[in-house]
Structure 1
Amino acid sequence: MFDIKWIRDNSEDFDAGLKSRGLEPLAEKLLALDDARRQHVTKLQDAQSRRNAASKEIGKAKGAKDEALAAKLMAEVADLKEVIQSGEEEERQLTKAVDDALAVIPNLPREDVPVGRDEKGNTEVRRVGEPRKFNFQPKQHFELGEALGLMDFETATKVSGARFVFLKGALARLDRALGSFMLDLHTGTFGYTETNPPLLVRDDAAYGTGNLPKFSEDLFQTTNGYWLIPTAEVSLTNVVRDRILDEAELPMRMTAWTPCFRSEAGAAGRDTRGMIRQHQFSKVELVSITSPETSGDEHERMTNCAEDVLRRLGLPFRTMLLCTGDMGFASRKTYDIEVWLPGQDAYREISSCSVCGDFQARRMGARFRGADGKTQFVHTLNGSGLAVGRTLVAVLENYQQADGSVIIPEALQPYMGGLTKIEKAG
């Protein structure tokens, strides 16, 4: 969310930032809306001033026993009252028009973000681990899971429709093991506070993180108006909504392992088989609340925390710096971590770590008070640490054996009750 005053003072920079995202200039249009609002406010203020003055003049006229003048002034005050009342409603509408226009404008990229139109403009930052060389044709995760009898899409489709799955037995336990492993790592090693947040949120919470109003079609809504979270980022970031923190409380680092729900409205025809893109999935989310001066370093730290999950699981990955045209709505800079999937012979996104600057904080009214006593907006960051379902996919494909069994990574074995291999039941 942008401050219209900032746009007025920095209109060229604002339009240049939008252009780097592939969008048309908007400063002139927004300022025209705000000018109309400001002119109307001035008109109302003038009317109120005249009403106050006329009210005082009524007393003087009555004191002078000039009843004709007093009656004229009283009629003027009554007319001004109607003008002000109707004008206040028009002011609300003009203010809403400005706010609505600002609410759907994406964040501006940082200067160090490469300019590009789509994923082709992304830049590889690093690559870790060598993809395993197989002496057989590696299978995709759904082929492995179905052959093991532990991944059931057919029954899930009968129960819920497309893009759902039943995991059973050792695969259900592997899913649980991955989430527990990630939480233990992020809380025990990296100092995040484990949180069990609400899965249903109100409009203002989804608005605060930038999911509303622009992306309502990507969310699921209950019949009584709640929104199912697309990620725990929504719940966790709103912890600081309408608060003024003390600078000593920063950085705040929170993590949560939750179900997530997405309609995948724009994903028709993409990843229709398997677990890559589902309506319901689980994810371990990382959220940080920082001061403006430390958010850049925190972004690098958060990305390293997410990468460390893959390092400890022995999964090859690469980290990509997204270009301006491929970033998310609220982001100023984003790293995507892509894990190697031998069944697809491709790297696929498993985490996205973003620094949002004060974009979400302005929408939420989240501030902190510095040592000088002055308040300013916090900076917010979020990242997947990791998407649990996609990590399960990566484990299955990278640790598959020629006979269809799957070796369990050493780091997960303590969470699997000593099980070292997943095999088809005899």
Structure 2
Amino acid sequence: MTETETSTTTGEAARSGGRSWSTLALTLGQLALMATSLVFSLSLGYAGGLAAVGAVAPAMLVFQLTCGVLQRTLAEATLLATAHEGRPADRATCRWSVAAALGGGLLGAVVALLSSLAVPDAPIELALGYAAGIPFVIALDIGRSAAVAAGTARSAFLESALWLVVQTASMLCFAALGSPLGICLSWAAVNAVFFLVAAARPDRRPALRGLLRWLRSRRASMGAASLDAFVVGVTPVLAMQVTAFVSTAATLGVIRVLQQVLAPLAFVSITFRRVLIYRRRNDGTSTVWQDLRDGLLSLGLMAAGAVLLGLAVVLGSRLVPALAFIPVGAALVAAGAEKAALGFSYGCSLSRFVRGEFDVLLRARYVMLGLTVLAAPLMTIRWGATGYLVGSSIGMVGYSLAVLGLPGGRRAVPTGPRPGLS
């Protein structure tokens, strides 16, 4: 074997190893976020009952909104879309992304706390403790994506694994002590400590100098992506806020617990999209039938997963006394239907997102927003938590049909040179 052939083989092996670590890091990062949210909800329900979960439910949805917007803007449309294996993001881009995530997280924490004031007869200290950890966990999440984009995916994978273990252990300890406030405060404290440790690395330290200039240079693609993600996240937030006026904290707790119990299904779809965006070329085309096929395939996978998880929840609630507070029955079936509808929406819209046709996606999002905010609270009045989940499913199906029916749109094109490449 010649020297050139040896060099080529070594380079291909290195790229293959890099792809493996990047996939593992992105997958575990999203899994860790969803797993800790599930453990948080279950621990809080065990320690303080469904009313305690309902007290924090609006704040959790605001965190979900904030995290989704910043993931879409800073991780997917910036770091992962402009950097690839062998072409890593530069250190300045990584540091600006972490700084923007921290600032967005601070704003999200304030909104999360304010949103919890709408829940009747709920202890505000629980939401306060939870909201305190939001800026740090979002900065951690974007920082891990920055590590992947910078070519240090292995460190991001190990950090996610350790963070998941520590978060889970601390929340379960306070759950055993019967302290809902301790669970919320431990969530915030662990996030803060991990953020401070991560900030010691040069590519994870927030940078303010040049931040505004960088944000302006990315306003075309970041603005379109963030607006799309904002409408996605604000839909359940508004639906929950309106529902809080016509239901009880316990009903909100039922909705949130069931959504969290089936959250692993959403993890599959979200992770698939993020990995695909990092690897897939955006110059392809697709037909309505291909998008429908993707949607039906995703719906089928999510429906099958919902059946399996639903059976596991029913069996677990009967065998494990600590899980007896999880409601089963019609509400659990409706939660599974909501996740299947979510999968359908991801499949139908994936090709348009990869191509950057955000104007089409936004028009469809507005359909989802209107349907969900109207249907979910109205159906809650009549059928409780089951009605809310069915109303949410109706909004997602309406969005999917709108995506399939709307003609092709304009692609979002970044202004100026492509940042993030060394």
TM-score by length of structure 1 reads 0.29
Which structure dedicates a bigger proportion of its chain to strand? 1
TM-score by length of structure 2 reads 0.29
- Flag the structure with more relative contact order, 1 or 2, with Cα contacts below 8 A and sequence separation at least 6: 2
Larger Rg: 1
